[in-house]
Structure 1
């Protein structure tokens, strides 16, 4: 059975993670133009999770500042 324990976030990679997440969201927005049905719903769900991730990353960065 694979080990699925989360790895600690490396704050040095913060900006890289944000850029990658935004890039993925933009690519998904483009893909939504030609998607339909289950594929469209899946893309929308993934982008919602990405938005949550960006919010969490922002909160994480704010906590480290204080």
Structure 2
């Protein structure tokens, strides 16, 4: 049996996703700051690309949270 669609806590869940993604982004930035000279260019680019995707995800989460607030 399928669960009913309960959207009451969507904003809270979205905020948790935002907070978690921001924490990962900051952790990766700190890692780059501390180890930039020790890692390969390829690894640095991979981390930076992942952080770019994280920033896009955060923007999407924020937009979705605003939509939820209007409903």
Aligned to 2:56: 52
For structure 2, list consecutive stretches of 5 or more residues without a partner in the other structure.
1-8
The size of the alignment, in residue pairs, is 57
Which structure is richer in relative contact order (CA contacts within 8 A, separation 6 or more)?
Answer: 2
For structure 1, list consecutive stretches of 5 or more residues without a partner in the other structure.
1-9
Contact 2:18–2:58 (8 Å) recurs in 1: yes
- Provide the aligned C-alpha RMSD in A: 1.5
Secondary structure, in 3 states, of the residue corresponding to 1:43?
helix
Compare CA radii of gyration and give the structure with the larger one.
2
Report the TM-score when normalising by structure 2.
0.71
Deviation at 1:32, TM superposition (A): 1.2
Q: Which runs of 4+ in 1 moved over 3 A?
A: none
